[in-house]
Amino acid sequence: MDQPFLMFHRPSLDHEEEQSVLEALRSGWLTTGPKTKAFEREFADYVGAPYAVGVNSCTAALHIALIAAGVQPGDEVITSPITFASTANVIVHAGAKPVFVDVEPDTLNMDVSQLESAITERTRAIIPVHFAGHPCDMDPILDIANRHSLTVIEDAAHAIESAYKGRKIGSLSPMTAFSFYATKNITTGEGGMITCQDAGLAEQLAVLSLHGISKDAWKRYTAAGYQHWDIIAPGFKYNMFDLQAAIGLCQLRKVERFWQRRKQISQIYDQAFGELEEICILSCKPYARSAYHLYTLQIQPERAGLMRDEMLDALQQRGIGVGVHFRAVHLHPYYREAFGFRRGMFPIAEQASDQILSIPLYPAMTDEDVQRVVSTVKAIIND
């Protein structure tokens, strides 16, 4: 009966990543260099974007994307309240005001029908978040952005493998930000990438990611001859470095294999939980290829006879790791106090915020692990 604790997430890393990091270590070139450039190229090819810029997190990617979009103090940027801290925090870092649009109940993505009414003359950009890897309804978002001259920056932290109407996420908007954090679909420990469609913008992002110093500053120590660099913008220290890229190159080659396994596990969960009236699960729209990043259960407290937090405790006590993605950003103390957000403003997001939890979903899970999650959730509900 006493089984080992099943971690909420465990990355899939093996001798290939170990070998690749060793090689990078022994090469003597640790920081941004040939491996970063190779990873950028392969990642851009994978998502079908002409350009990709490696950075040290998705948070950094979103931040410099806002700067490159020309977001200034006093501007407004629209996003979803069901997201991680950084999506909203970077808007504040850019000096702008976060504006939220409520989510749709069946995907927890931004409800596009409410988007246009959130736009004011100060709105500058929209950050759609592809929650759990299910893509947002991008055609109307891009159309509305176009009509109001707004820049779309996608938060694709969950969405490396996602596609919308057959088009890969990363190839659609001016800029798309990805994460390689330890729990994401592929990992470099910490890391991120921005894809974009325009050479000038890619250049600007690369400059912003490395102190704002001029083109190819990372080459300044090579045999090509000494080159002076110029500061052309007050940039950031956000560059990806080669030890990260060494891991990322290996991970990227396995991305579709990992995706297949998570899809399989998601389907087992769908079958197990789809019929239960105590729990709601999210749906997959006809236009979507999901990345299956998270598996979300939404507890119906009256029917289940327990609250979400009781479910979290019960699962942990029975040896199953859990997560909450996410409690609505606008209800966190900073956002309430700084911007006056309160409960009642985004009812669908608030209900989800109180009721959702995430169960383990990763390729290193065995079939027995998956069955154990299913039977434990069911046992708690039937208790």
Number of residues binding to ligand PLP, judged by CB under 6 A = 14
Query: In terms of CB distance, is 177 or 373 closer to ligand PLP?
Result: 177
The torsion defined by the Cα of 256, 260, 266 and 268, in degrees rounded to 10, comes to -170
Among 83, 109, 151, 188, binds ligand PLP (CB under 6 A): 83
Q: Which tokens in the block code for residue 75?
A: 């501007």
Instruction: Give the integer Cα–Cα distance in Å for 99 and 122.
Output: 11
Among 32, 36, 79, 86, binds ligand PLP (CB under 6 A): 86
Q: Say which residue the tokens 């039977």 belong to.
A: 375
Residue 195 as a binder of ligand PLP (CB under 6 A): the answer is no
CB of 134 to ligand PLP, least distance (A): 12
Q: Strands, E, within 57-110: which ranges? A: 76-79, 97-100
Q: Are 285 and 112 in contact (CB under 8 A)?
A: no
184 is an active site residue: yes
Question: Which CA distances in Å does 356 have to 68, 132, 162, 228, 342?
Answer: 34, 12, 22, 53, 19
Q: Is 111 helix (H, G, I), strand (E, B) or coil?
A: coil
Among 59, 107, 290, 358, binds ligand PLP (CB under 6 A): 59
Query: In terms of CB distance, is 98 or 192 closer to ligand PLP?
Result: 192
Contact range with ligand PLP by CB under 6 A, out of 1-9, 53-61, 276-284, 330-338: 53-61
Among 58, 94, 240, 297, binds ligand PLP (CB under 6 A): 58
Question: Of 236, 234, 218, nearest to 57 (Cα)?
Answer: 236
Among 87, 162, 244, 376, binds ligand PLP (CB under 6 A): 87
CA 154 to the chain's CA centroid: 9
Contact pattern from residue 298 through residue 317 relative to ligand PLP, giving x for each residue in contact according to CB under 6 A and a dash for the rest: --------------------
Residues 109-168 that bind ligand PLP (CB under 6 A): 129, 155, 157-158
The amino acid that residue 109 corresponds to is: N
Residues 251-280 that bind ligand PLP (CB under 6 A): none
Q: Are 299 and 355 in contact (CB under 8 A)?
A: yes
Signed CA dihedral, 160, 166, 170, 173: sign only:
negative
Query: In terms of CB distance, is 60 or 217 closer to ligand PLP?
Result: 60
CB of 296 to ligand PLP, least distance (A): 13
Query: In terms of CB distance, is 11 or 272 closer to ligand PLP?
Result: 11
Instruction: Give the integer Cα–Cα distance in Å for 212 and 203.
Output: 11
CB of 211 to ligand PLP, least distance (A): 19
Residue of 35, 184, 237, 285 with catalytic role = 184
The amino acid that residue 177 corresponds to is: A
Q: Which tokens in the block code for residue 237?
A: 């220290």
Among 39, 51, 181, 295, binds ligand PLP (CB under 6 A): 181
Active centre residues (catalytic): 184
Binding positions for ligand PLP, rule: CB under 6 A: 57-59, 83-84, 86-87, 129, 155, 157-158, 179, 181, 192
